[in-house]
Amino acid sequence: MQNETSAASPGAIGVSLVDGDTAVRHARQLMLRSEDYAVRSYATCAALLADPRARDYPCIILDMEMEAIDGLALLREMRTSGWRGRALLLDGLAPGSPMLTEAERYGDTVLQRGIGDRALLVAIAASINGDAPARRPAGSPSSADDA
């Protein structure tokens, strides 16, 4: 199921949010709306792929621990269909993992699933501005901002 907000201003930057946990998805959607992002939220990757308007948004936040998900396949399909944005992949990956390598190739960012709101907002802004690293180093100063 997809939800679109009408609360954002006409020039608001769009963010697609994919998370199978209803409570987490709703909380993040409300937080992003309060920061004036236009948010389209989805409970499944299939719902995101089925929505052609999702390709208009420059950022996808994707929980990689959803059942029956292949997040990299989702991103490949989005890119094949014309999406040129960046993804924030919520997972806890070991350095050198294939997902991290592919994320680096496309400028996507891998973040810890439990990232705080402030740090997530910083990551969204960085991904939209094109200066997002593929992974924030462990113990970086900004991790104290995860509130």
Question: pTM value?
Answer: 0.80
Domain segments of the chain: what residues?
Answer: 2-145
What pLDDT digit, counting tens, does each position of 16-59 carry?
999 989 999 999 999 999 999 999 999 999 999 999 999 999 99
Q: For the domain 2-145, what is the CATH superfamily, name and number?
A: Response regulator (3.40.50.2300)
Tell me the sheet residues that pair with 107.
none
Can you give the C-alpha Rg of the chain in angstroms? 14
What pLDDT digit, counting tens, does each position of 43-54 carry?
999 999 999 999
Residue whose token pair is 């990299």:
72
Which string of DSSP letters, residue by residue, matches 9-59? -TTPPEEEEE-S-HHHHHHHHHHHHHTT-EEEEESSHHHHHH-GGGGG-SE
What pLDDT digit, counting tens, does each position of 119-136 carry?
999 999 999 887 644 443
